[in-house]
Every structure is written in structure tokens, then in C-alpha cells.
Chain A
């Protein structure tokens, strides 16, 4: 039963697959009842981290504790976790009822009670009318719900989701995303969610860890990660499209790009002479004066225009709400508010606060 716990701590988790260094000493703290997303491109180590937490992979080094108890080498069954797999991993020879009831059966719940508990879990994800079907007779969305019901029926301490929405069509993905969040609220169980879709992570997670090349590059709330990226790697990954990164010189509290001077709010940390300036495409506007840029391509995104331009050979994207295309090759002037600018040290690749 859920006892209001589920604090997960990873320390120095290291994992190789042959010559491939999948996890390079991961540290992670996940608070009880948190909805935590592991976000990163494929091969970044997020799924491996989830499998280590589930107990399906044993790390080469490092420790994992749940509520202070070391479970690094515990079998998956001893961890009181439930998992929804990317391909759902339903038992093909069992009905929906038997699938959902299987964890209860393995737990020794009296046989007479199982159908009732299975139906209860199924009704939470609205598939209680399909109890006698087999997985092969269900649509993708229904299979996904069946996998969810199987995961929640036992009321686990940790709820692990491995890209659960990636096999659904776009419409269903949006609906299920909302339902997952609702389900998490009603269950109050620590939920760890792997995704490569940053929009998904941004919208449903309380906090997230951004993975790149087997390392965690930032941990924080979606707001932190989006608005205060810790380093150039996160800045270049988060956002669709991600923020523009332009080399600039810093002099007397102002950035100088392509000969144009841009006043910036004062920084608490010392700023080196050479910096990388970051600005989101939606924060750039076209003005009469400003940094000169050459238009390469105008893209119509429906709700906005995305102008691809170049500033001294460096690509810059501008998102405009007014739907007027700009001719290729035209020279425009870009301006932005100094308050929206992020500064990074090109040497350490870290954010300058």
C-alpha cells in the first residue's frame, strides 16, 4: 500500500554495455510523490537509468537507495515498483483481467478478490468494459491503458514509465498525457517518466533531469530548465526550436554582436570578455535598427512564422506572430530585450548568473 514514501537516491551510478559507456556516474535525488521526468535524446542513458531503478539492470558501480534502504542489487520484485514498458509488454496469452490481476496473483492475494481489484484498476483507466479481451484484440491505446492498470493495481511505491506515449498517435498522446498527470495526482506515488519529447516532460513533470551522453546535465523544474539552462548543452537541446547561440564580446555591461552594442542587466558573477549569448527565437523581433541578418528561409508553422536567418554566418531563428513571409536573401535587423538574454562562458560552457 502507498505509505506516502518513495524517495529515490542514486549515487555514482556507472554502467557499460560492452565498450559503450551508457551511464557515467549518475547522481540523482527524487522526492516522495514527485512526478519526475528523465529527458534526453536516444542513447543518452535515460532508459538505462530507469532500468537500473527498476532493477532490470545492475550498475557496474554506484548505489541506489529507496527511502534510505540500499536496493542496488535487489531483484525487481523486491523493490515494490511497477513499470509501463514502451511496447507495453502485456502477457499475450492472458485476458485483460488476467493481465491486470497477475501482480496480485503473484502477491498471493486471495483468488476471489482478484477480479474485483482488477476491475477497479481498469475502471480508473476506463477499460473495464474490455476485461475478457486479449491484448491482440485491443487497439494500441487500449493496450497502453491495460499496461497502466496492471501497474497501478498493486499500489506500488514507485511507478516507472518508459516512453509510455511514444507508440500512440498524436491526438491520443495529448489526451493520455493529461490523464497520466491526473492519475499521478490521484495515486500520490513517486512517478519516474522517461521521454525524449521535451514538450511531454515540460508539461507533466514536477521536476526533470536532462540527459546527454550518459551524463545528467541539469536537474530542475521545467521552468528552471527552460528559463535558466545551466550550460550550453541544455540551452542547445531544450526548446523547439532551441535557443539561438551567438558568439559575442562583452564590454562595460554590454554585449557586442556584429558591431552592434546591446545593453544587458548587471550580472552577479564576473563576465569574461568572450561570451556566448543565448536568446530564444520567440524573444527576437525584427526592428528598424539592430543586428544585421540575412534571411535564408521563411517557414509557416500555422500559428507563427519561423524566420531562418544568418548573423555573420551563424544561424539564427526568429519566431514571429505576424504571418508575413520575408523574401529569401533580404537583409533584416534583429533586436531583443537585454532581460531575455542568457550568457554562457565559452570556456567552461556554463551559464553566467
Chain B
């Protein structure tokens, strides 16, 4: 009787969940499967006469593609440097603001502003107002400091530095806010105990603060790494991946291959590669998080 009632209830529950489940499958799972399928096909709008099953050809081509490895390298540099900068600057700011006895709310509000801007807007205003030669604010400051005019977005290395600065500028406040909240929740008497136990400021930070905010720190790193790996809009608006391919991270390369070169088969394979890399990196970080806390 009872199990039958349960089964009836289970069917009803499944019925209720079904609509949202179907929408989810149609909008997320199906496109993913289609992406995998197309990565094993030749789909090239420029050369439709070659279309057909390609097997592993796209992946073989990827392994031999210099542009692919170049974009992988850029993706690594971009992700590692932006995540490190966000965490270090965000934590530094949070530690400083924690020492302000009153008015912390002001910093919290100011910090939200960059986050709520659309990345494409951020990319555009950095391109036009900050980095533009002659009248960009950053360029003006650099010239004033005597480091000459720099062709920020027009030469390879400064362009890469620029897109890293843009991403860091927009997303450091996120790390700042999360870490500030985490710091504010730490028990004050533990710090008093540490002072009595003769731990100096650096030792208190290293032995008490860092281990205690570790969960928040790891979450910030995971979330920021996943976002940085799939960054697109700000770079696209600021440099479009250029000059040349100097800022073309894997995501932009996949986009260019699919929608500029119109080689959808190879573009899909590149997107699959990005997906696999993102999964591996975040999986590793999640593992590191659980491995040490339990």
C-alpha cells in the first residue's frame, strides 16, 4: 500500500519536474551533443562540397595547428595572470578595508559598479577612453610618468597586458567582496589568542587568516578560472583578438574559425577542446578543495 502510494507520488513529482527538465535538456544538453557531433564532421560553409563525416580529422588537425597551440598558451597566460591578480589585489584590498573602522559599506557599493557593467561595454570604454593613444587616460598617465606613448592595443605584448588589465579591473571587486565577507566573519578572539601566543602580523596572516578563509579563496579561484577560460566579450570589443592573433585566446580562435572562416566542424572541435580544458581545470581545483578540508 505504502510503496504504491509512494510510486504514485513519485510519478506525480516527475510530471511536475518534467517541463523544466525538458527545457533544460533542449537548451543545454542537446546543443552540447550537437557540438560533439559536429566536431566529428566536415561542415565548412566556404567549401560545402567537402562536407561529410570526418572522424578524428578535426582533432588530428588541431594537434598540428600552430594557431591552436598559440591560443592555448595565451589562454593559460590570460587565465593564470588574471586569477592571480584578482585574488592578490582583491585580498589585499579586503585586508585594508577590514582595518577601516567605519564606512566599509561605501567600498562595498563602489566595488559592485564594475561587476554590473556588461563586459562588452567595459572592453569598449577601455579601448576608447583608457588605452586610446593621445587622449586615453592610462596612456596620458604613462606619458606623464615618462614611459613614452605606448601603442596599447596596437602592438602584441601591450595588447595582451591590456586585456589582462581590463579583465582584472572588472572582476577584482568580485574577489574583494567575497573575501571581505569571509574576513569579516572570522572570530576576533582567535586573533587575540594568536597575539598572546606571540604570532606577529605576518604569522597571524599565514597561520590563522589564510587557512580560515581558504574555502572562500578556493571558491573564488574556481569561479574566476572558469570565467577567465571562457572570456570573450571584453577582449572581442577591445582588440578583436588582435593585433594579428596576439590576444586570441582559445575561445576567440574557436569563434573566428566558426563564424569568420565558416569552418564549423573544426570550430566545434576547438570548442570541445575548451570545454574539456575547463572541466579538467575546475575538476582539479574542486578536488584540491575537498582533499584538504576533509
Interface residues of A (CB under 8 A from B): 54-56, 75-77, 81-83, 85, 87, 89-93, 102-103, 106-107, 150, 154
A85-B189, A89-B190 known; A106 and B195 CB under 8 Å?
A: no
Taking CB atoms, residues of chain A closer than 8 Å to B193 are 83, 85, 89-91, 150
Question: How many angstroms from the CA of A257 to the CA of B197 in the assembled complex?
Answer: 58
Selected from A75, A91, A103, A107, the residue in CB contact (under 8 A) with B190 is A91
A77-B200, A103-B197, A106-B198 known; A56 and B192 CB under 8 Å?
A: yes
Taking CB atoms, residues of chain B closer than 8 Å to A107 are 198
Q: Does B211 contact A (CB under 8 A)?
A: yes
**8 tightest A-B contacts by CB?**
A77-B198, A89-B189, A89-B193, A103-B197, A93-B211, A106-B198, A76-B195, A76-B196
Taking CB atoms, residues of chain A closer than 8 Å to B196 are 54-56, 76-77, 81-83
Question: How many angstroms from the CA of A61 to the CA of B103 in the assembled complex?
Answer: 29
Establish whether residues B192 and A89, one from each chain, have CB atoms under 8 Å apart when the complex forms.
Answer: yes
Selected from B189, B208, B211, B214, the residue in CB contact (under 8 A) with A87 is B189
Shortest distance in angstroms between A3's beta carbon and chain B's nearest beta carbon?
A: 18
The residues in B between 185 and 234 inclusive whose CB is less than 8 angstroms from any CB of A are 187, 189-190, 192-200, 203, 207-208, 211-212, 214
11 more A-B residue pairs beyond the given contacts A55-B196, A150-B193, with a C-beta to C-beta distance below 8 A: A54-B192, A54-B196, A77-B197, A77-B199, A81-B196, A89-B187, A89-B190, A90-B193, A92-B187, A93-B214, A107-B198
Question: How many angstroms from the CA of A346 to the CA of B272 in the assembled complex?
Answer: 91
With CB as the reference atom, state the residue of chain A lying closest to B212.
A93
Establish whether residues B203 and A106, one from each chain, have CB atoms under 8 Å apart when the complex forms.
Answer: yes
Taking CB atoms, residues of chain A closer than 8 Å to B197 are 77, 102-103, 106, 150, 154
Establish whether residues A91 and B208, one from each chain, have CB atoms under 8 Å apart when the complex forms.
Answer: yes
Taking CB atoms, residues of chain B closer than 8 Å to A154 are 197
With CB as the reference atom, state the residue of chain B lying closest to A85.
B189
Shortest distance in angstroms between A143's beta carbon and chain B's nearest beta carbon?
A: 13
Taking CB atoms, residues of chain B closer than 8 Å to A87 are 187, 189
With CB as the reference atom, state the residue of chain B lying closest to A86.
B189
Question: How many angstroms from the CA of A83 to the CA of B207 in the assembled complex?
Answer: 19
Query: B interface, how many residues as a size bin?
Result: 10 to 19
Taking CB atoms, residues of chain B closer than 8 Å to A83 are 192-193, 196
Q: Would you call the interface of chain A mostly helix, strand, loop, or mixed?
A: loop
- The 6 listed contacts between A and B (C-beta, < 8 Å) are A77-B199, A77-B200, A83-B193, A93-B211, A93-B212, A103-B198
Taking CB atoms, residues of chain A closer than 8 Å to B189 are 85, 87, 89
Shortest distance in angstroms between B77's beta carbon and chain A's nearest beta carbon?
A: 33
Shortest distance in angstroms between B65's beta carbon and chain A's nearest beta carbon?
A: 46
Taking CB atoms, residues of chain B closer than 8 Å to A76 are 192, 195-196
Taking CB atoms, residues of chain B closer than 8 Å to A75 are 195
Question: How many angstroms from the CA of A107 to the CA of B198 in the assembled complex?
Answer: 7
With CB as the reference atom, state the residue of chain A lying closest to B190.
A89
Question: How many angstroms from the CA of A93 to the CA of B211 in the assembled complex?
Answer: 7
With CB as the reference atom, state the residue of chain A lying closest to B193.
A89
Taking CB atoms, residues of chain A closer than 8 Å to B194 are 91, 102
Question: How many angstroms from the CA of A81 to the CA of B194 in the assembled complex?
Answer: 12
Question: How many angstroms from the CA of A298 to the CA of B159 in the assembled complex?
Answer: 89
Establish whether residues A85 and B199, one from each chain, have CB atoms under 8 Å apart when the complex forms.
Answer: no
With CB as the reference atom, state the residue of chain A lying closest to B188.
A89
Establish whether residues B190 and A92, one from each chain, have CB atoms under 8 Å apart when the complex forms.
Answer: yes
Question: How many angstroms from the CA of A102 to the CA of B191 in the assembled complex?
Answer: 13
Taking CB atoms, residues of chain B closer than 8 Å to A93 are 211-212, 214
Taking CB atoms, residues of chain A closer than 8 Å to B212 are 92-93
Shortest distance in angstroms between A156's beta carbon and chain B's nearest beta carbon?
A: 9
Taking CB atoms, residues of chain B closer than 8 Å to A82 are 196
Question: How many angstroms from the CA of A89 to the CA of B193 in the assembled complex?
Answer: 6
Shortest distance in angstroms between B191's beta carbon and chain A's nearest beta carbon?
A: 9
Question: How many angstroms from the CA of A89 to the CA of B208 in the assembled complex?
Answer: 12
Taking CB atoms, residues of chain B closer than 8 Å to A103 are 197-198
Taking CB atoms, residues of chain B closer than 8 Å to A56 are 192, 195-196
Taking CB atoms, residues of chain B closer than 8 Å to A102 are 194, 197, 199, 207
Shortest distance in angstroms between A100's beta carbon and chain B's nearest beta carbon?
A: 10
Taking CB atoms, residues of chain A closer than 8 Å to B203 are 106
The residues in B between 166 and 192 inclusive whose CB is less than 8 angstroms from any CB of A are 187, 189-190, 192
Question: How many angstroms from the CA of A77 to the CA of B200 in the assembled complex?
Answer: 8
With CB as the reference atom, state the residue of chain A lying closest to B211.
A93
Question: How many angstroms from the CA of A41 to the CA of B196 in the assembled complex?
Answer: 26
Shortest distance in angstroms between A51's beta carbon and chain B's nearest beta carbon?
A: 8
Question: How many angstroms from the CA of A82 to the CA of B194 in the assembled complex?
Answer: 10
Question: How many angstroms from the CA of A89 to the CA of B195 in the assembled complex?
Answer: 12
Taking CB atoms, residues of chain B closer than 8 Å to A90 are 190, 193
Shortest distance in angstroms between A110's beta carbon and chain B's nearest beta carbon?
A: 16
Shortest distance in angstroms between B93's beta carbon and chain A's nearest beta carbon?
A: 24
Taking CB atoms, residues of chain A closer than 8 Å to B207 are 91, 102
With CB as the reference atom, state the residue of chain A lying closest to B186.
A92
Shortest distance in angstroms between A241's beta carbon and chain B's nearest beta carbon?
A: 34
Question: How many angstroms from the CA of A107 to the CA of B196 in the assembled complex?
Answer: 11
Question: How many angstroms from the CA of A81 to the CA of B192 in the assembled complex?
Answer: 12
Question: How many angstroms from the CA of A77 to the CA of B195 in the assembled complex?
Answer: 6
With CB as the reference atom, state the residue of chain B lying closest to A81.
B196
Taking CB atoms, residues of chain B closer than 8 Å to A92 are 187, 190, 212
With CB as the reference atom, state the residue of chain A lying closest to B204.
A106
With CB as the reference atom, state the residue of chain A lying closest to B191.
A89
Taking CB atoms, residues of chain A closer than 8 Å to B214 are 93
Question: How many angstroms from the CA of A93 to the CA of B195 in the assembled complex?
Answer: 17
Question: Which of B193, B195, B214 has the most chain A CB within a 10 Å cutoff?
Answer: B193
Establish whether residues B192 and A85, one from each chain, have CB atoms under 8 Å apart when the complex forms.
Answer: yes
